Amino acid sequence: MLATEPPMATLGEEEMDRPLKTRHLFSVLLALGVMTATPAAGPLWAKTYCERLYESARKDYYALLDSDRKQRFHDNWDKVIDKFAAIVDQYPECPRAPDSLFNAGVLYRKLYRKSWVKKDLESALNSFKELNRQYPKNKLADDALLAAAQIQEELGDRGAAYITYSDLVKRYPKGDMAGEARQKIKLLAAYAPRRSPRPAKRSGSAAVRVTDIKYWSNPDYTRVVVYGTGRFEYSANQLRGDSATGKPPRMYIDLDGAVVPQDLCSPITISDGLLLRTRMGQYDRDTVRLVLDIDSIEDHRVFTMENPSRLVVDVIGKQGKFTGTSSRDAETGRESPLPLAQQLGLGVRTIVLDPGHGGKDPGAIGPGGLKEKDVTLALARRLKPLLEDKGYQILMTRDSDTYVELDARTAFANKQRADLFISIHTNASRSRSVRGVETYFLGVARDREASETALLENAISEQTLADLDLILLDLARTSNLKQSSVLAESIQDNLYRGLANRHSRVRNNGVKQAAFYVLIGAQMPAVLVETSFISNPESEKLLSSQEYRDLISDSIFRGIIHYIQRLASVSSRDEES
């Protein structure tokens, strides 16, 4: 994804930092043909003023990109983006307006790399689209279109990306972006809008045979998987609902060169709020059509995976919904297997404790100078023997003041085949009055606070995630997600009650979801506990006291044990039935 950033060189760095000569600017404006209706005196004044605004915004832009610290807060991004937006609003004819839109797009895109809030990426898309719409003749117009297409791809809308790339090549055939767009069009050929059925590519013995179809309803999305004897080639399309015929909106995916046995063709009712049902059938001699009748979805993604070969359709709801895990084998209607530990009735044996930060990364620092990395280590060290006394094997991602990469922490837990992963942190806010405890599991942030906490915790990572799909695949470890939410609930509940017993001012901020690097890729239930706000002077004082630390460790301990006991009772009930 980094490789697909729009070329910053097109912004003309030197040109940006040096105020343009008035005359030169005016001739540029005339050349652009955007000023013909404006009186001469106005624009000259406006342009100078606009130029000053632009310089100021660019200064803030660089200051933000230079400072990891500033990048941790949503507000800092908003402020710079707003400055650029104000230029476009107030001086749409100023030659800096398109540059401003471009910079806003770049900023939103970078922000998304930190926040993983999809809305930020969509805002980037809108900025680039708007640039192209308002200033189709600007030198950045084709750059903007390329960026828009890349984002559409990233958002999973490859059909739209195909159309945007095609539009770029058609309208700017000689521009410096056309080459890349042409390559993309070739790569995305399968997503071209279809006019007529394609000639058969595979048939008879070469055809891929559909062997099964299953679905999983998850808290945040529903996944439908079609299994086959080989790699599927497919094209996805959407149809609007038709109130006249009562047909719901639907999505259909054609599997080219595929055949499906009759016994897999009966409709499967899902009715989980996202999808009504799925249907599959032999559309023509060598095309299998999968139809999803949609109840209400926000977005979808289609991709193929191998070993075994399968086509995966994820549909995502407007907001998270908790339907409980109903993971059913679509064919038989039986419940799919529980996580292995539960199946075997083994429950939990190994727990990885992950004291946040360490070494060169102090984490958040309180107003009195207390460092998060020291608190988290103390809490984990205290928690460890409590759990060991209960017979669990406890491993720590660090047991000294050392720096450990975020991805190395999860990798360690995976390698040790740990059953639980508990990351321990203290929270921070720029507002010193903010206080309370909250527990996270992996997901899409629902509110500003959650995404800000993720920004804060993710900031130190030197790892950049290559691809949004990767995150989604990890989110798709369905049992982990559900179990993680149960674990988070148990810890949050015990932690809040444990602290509130003795400290009446403790606030319960609840269980939340956000895209924490440190939780991504964990192959076991994984949570991140924000034990208190170190940025709150009163909480900071408490966090440095042994009594409060013990209280936190004891409460997290009780939360973990409560979760494990519940797990055990679920699996023993299963054995009885």
Residue 457 vs 489, nearer CB to Zn ion: 457
**Contact 63/447 with Cβ under 8 angstroms?**
no
Q: Is 366 in the site for Zn ion (CB under 5 A)?
A: no
Supply the minimum distance, in Å, between the C-beta of residue 425 and Zn ion: 3
Peptide bond preceding 6: is omega within 30 degrees of 0, i.e. cis? Answer: no
Sign of CA dihedral 418, 420, 421, 423: negative
**Smallest distance, Zn ion to C-beta of residue 404, A:** 13
H or E stretch at 510: strand 508-514
Judged by beta carbon, residue 138 or residue 439, the one nearer Zn ion is 439
C-alpha torsion angle, residues 168, 170, 174, 177 (rounded to 10): 20
Stretch that binds Zn ion, among 32-40, 401-409, 417-425, 495-503 (CB under 5 A): 417-425
Nearer to Zn ion, 223 or 357 (CB): 357
Residue 310 as a binder of Zn ion (CB under 5 A): the answer is no
Residue 419 vs 457, nearer CB to Zn ion: 457
Give the CA dihedral 426, 427, 428, 434, nearest 10 degrees.
-120
With CB under 5 A as the contact rule, the residue among 356, 443, 521, 525 that binds Zn ion is 356
102, amino acid identity: F
Residue 35 CB neighbour total at 10 angstroms:
19
Minimum Å gap between C-beta 375 and Zn ion is 10
**Could you say whether residue 347 binds Zn ion (CB under 5 A)?**
no
User: Smallest distance from the beta carbon of 34 to Zn ion, in angstroms?
Assistant: 49
Residue 30: partners with Cβ closer than 8 Å, 6 or more residues away: none
Q: Which is nearer to Zn ion, 425 or 435 (CB)?
A: 425
**Positions 441 through 500 that interact with Zn ion (CB under 5 A):** 457
Structure token digits, residue 384: 């460890």
Rg (CA), the chain: 27
Q: Which stretch binds Zn ion (CB under 5 A): 106-114, 348-356, 534-542, 555-563?
A: 348-356
Q: Figure out which of the listed residues 363, 443, 498, 559 binds Zn ion, where binding follows CB under 5 A.
A: 363
- Nearest in space to 275 (alpha carbons), one of 294, 291, 257, 261: 294
CA 436 from centroid of its chain's CA atoms: 25
Q: Taking CB under 5 A as the rule, does residue 373 contact Zn ion?
A: no
Q: Which is nearer to Zn ion, 363 or 436 (CB)?
A: 363
Tell me: does residue 371 bind Zn ion (CB under 5 A). no
| Cα–Cα distance, 279 to 270 (Å, whole number) | 11
Site string for Zn ion, 251-270 (x = CB under 5 A): --------------------
Q: Least CB distance from residue 553 to Zn ion, whole Å? A: 17
Can you list the pairs that 167-174 forms with residues at least 24 positions away whose Cβ atoms lie under 8 Å?
Answer: 168/142, 171/136, 171/142, 171/145, 172/141, 172/142, 172/145
Q: Shortest Cβ distance from residue 460 to Zn ion (Å)?
A: 9
Q: How far apart are CA 156 and CA 250, in angstroms?
A: 17
Smallest separation (angstroms) from Zn ion to the CB of 374: 12
Rounded to the nearest whole angstrom, what is the least distance from the CB of residue 363 to Zn ion in the complex? 4
425 binds Zn ion (CB under 5 A): yes
Phi, psi of 282 (to 5 degrees): -80, 105
Give whichever of 515 and 567 is closer to Zn ion, judged by the CB atom.
515
User: Closest approach of Cβ 364 to Zn ion, in Å?
Assistant: 6
CA 308 to chain centre: 26
Total residues in contact with Zn ion, by rule CB under 5 A: 4
Interface residues with Zn ion (CB under 5 A) are 356, 363, 425, 457
